[in-house]
């Protein structure tokens, strides 16, 4: 391009440029056109990239909405749906609070968990917990539907599980009604839920209080892990978290109950204990094993395993075929492997899933002796 203060041509003058076009100028014209096309392509790619990034970036209102897919309920509505949290509507009670059945919007049956407040920072901790569990989506984990706060009153709205908790089917009023296939599906489902918390969620979550009463069953007897009141972030580079003890003795790994050492292997240990309960139909702190002394479930199971007669651990309410007996013995060995000591000998829950899905037996030398805790000498540290 050239610039001049005087016109290059007279007014209304028409000039043909054909005589001025030579092979060289034609080549230069091609270069100009090619370069222009290249610039247009680069600009198009840049614009496409910026559009794609802007589409992936959350909008401002989405960023401010911390609880995606979770409804914020009015406290008065939940209070009314539970008849002012009456005894008639209460379906559960534990150390963290009470759980009530409620019907919302005249059709939706839910469970309302009323949490107990410990300390002035409870609301902040509650908010952080809701942010965490509102993003958890898995078939074997309890789904959070909503939440509410009213000063010191902290409420979670959860799925309602009509079958109730697993412990009722093992030694409660529904004892003996689960067959082996249902029991194995429950064991497998718990393992899948824990593997998701430990390895598949965007942060590692250690539940810290896996026990039979925290496993709820849906209409198809599929398990859902409940009570994330103890769930906390577990940094990748830490194996020890100096927080107060939280868990239930009998289910809690010895290194955590004794020294406060926390890792995902604490949940692996608890899973092993729950699996032994499912196999035997006995509580983990039950000592009524005829002929085997005053031993708790884990020690009793280990001694049977050492003698090669762990088939005797099987719940008498189960009427098993020969092929099923072999399968139960294998699952017993996996449960003992999950409860062995030290903690780093225990498998990850993803490895447990593979073992549950694979061959008929395990190598005996893979399992080391668990650490046994004498609960008769314990201080009452139990926090349910």
Tens digit of each residue's pLDDT (9 = 90 or more) over 119-156:
566 667 667 777 777 888 899 999 889 988 887 778 98
Q: Where do the structural domains in the chain lie, given as residue ranges?
A: 71-159, 167-377
- Whether 209 is catalytic is yes
* Percent of the chain at pLDDT exceeding 70: 72
Dist. CA 302–CA 360, nearest whole Å: 19
Residues, the chain, total? 384
Known binding positions for ATP: 114
Q: Can you read off the two tokens belonging to residue 102?
A: 């409620």
pTM greater than the 0.85 cutoff: no
Listed residue (70, 116, 73) closest to 97, CA to CA: 116
Known binding positions: 114
The whole-number pLDDT of residue 44 equals 80
Most confident of the ranges 224-228, 250-254, 272-276: 272-276
Mean pLDDT, the chain, rounded, equals 80
**Average pLDDT of the segment spanning 97-102:** 90
Residue 240 reports pLDDT greater than 50 = no
Q: What is the pLDDT confidence band of residue 358, given thresholds at 50, 70 and 90?
A: confident
Active-site residue, from 167, 209, 227, 315: 209
pLDDT digits (tens, 9 = 90+) for 34-59: 777 877 787 788 777 776 655 544 33
Q: How many CB atoms within 10 Å of residue 8?
A: 8
Q: What is the pLDDT confidence band of residue 239, given thresholds at 50, 70 and 90?
A: very low
CATH code for the part of the protein at 167-377: 1.10.510.10
Residue 263 reports pLDDT greater than 70 = yes
The whole-number pLDDT of residue 313 equals 95
What is the architecture, at CATH level 2, of domain 71-159? 2-Layer Sandwich (3.30)
Task: Tell me the CA distances in angstroms from 311 to 143, 281, 290, 356, one per residue in order.
Answer: 36, 13, 15, 18
The whole-number pLDDT of residue 62 equals 37
């Amino acid at each position: 391009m050239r610039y001049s203060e005087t016109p290059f041509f007279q007014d209304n003058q028409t000039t043909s440029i054909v005589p001025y076009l030579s092979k060289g100028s034609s080549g230069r014209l091609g270069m100009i056109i090619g370069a222009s096309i290249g610039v247009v392509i680069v600009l198009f790619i840049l614009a496409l990239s910026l559009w794609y990034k802007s589409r992936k970036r959350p909008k401002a209102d989405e960023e401010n909405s911390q609880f995606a897919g979770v409804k914020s309920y009015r406290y008065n509505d939940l209070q009314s749906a539970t008849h002012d949290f009456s005894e008639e509507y209460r379906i559960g009670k534990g150390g963290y609070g009470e759980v009530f059945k409620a019907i919302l919007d005249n059709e939706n049956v839910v469970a309302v968990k009323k949490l107990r407040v410990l300390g002035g920072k409870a609301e902040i901790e509650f908010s952080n917990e809701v942010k965490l569990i509102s993003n958890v989506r898995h078939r074997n984990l309890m789904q959070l539907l909503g939440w509410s706060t009213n000063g010191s009153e902290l409420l979670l709205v959860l799925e309602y599980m009509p079958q109730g908790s697993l412990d009722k089917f093992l030694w409660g009023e529904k004892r003996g009604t689960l067959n082996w296939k249902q029991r194995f599906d429950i064991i497998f489902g718990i393992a899948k839920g824990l593997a998701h918390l430990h390895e598949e969620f965007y942060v590692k979550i250690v539940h810290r209080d896996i026990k039979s009463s925290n496993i709820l069953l849906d209409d198809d007897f599929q398990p859902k892990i409940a009570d994330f009141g103890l769930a906390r972030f577990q940094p990748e580079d830490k194996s020890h978290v100096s927080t107060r003890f939280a868990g239930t003795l009998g289910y809690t790994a010895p290194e955590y109950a004794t020294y406060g050492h926390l890792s995902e292997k604490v949940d692996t240990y608890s899973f092993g204990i729950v699996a032994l309960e499912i196999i035997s139909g006995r509580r983990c702190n039950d000592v009524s094993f005829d002929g085997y002394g005053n031993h708790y479930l884990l020690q009793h199971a280990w001694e049977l395993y050492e003698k090669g007669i762990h088939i005797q651990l099987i719940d008498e309410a189960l009427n098993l075929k020969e092929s099923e007996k072999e399968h139960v013995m294998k699952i017993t060995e996996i449960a003992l492997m999950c409860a062995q000591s030290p903690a780093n000998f225990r498998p990850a829950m993803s490895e447990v899933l593979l073992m549950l899905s694979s061959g008929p037996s395990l190598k005996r030398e893979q399992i080391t002796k668990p650490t046994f805790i004498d609960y008769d000498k314990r201080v009452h540290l139990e926090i349910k």
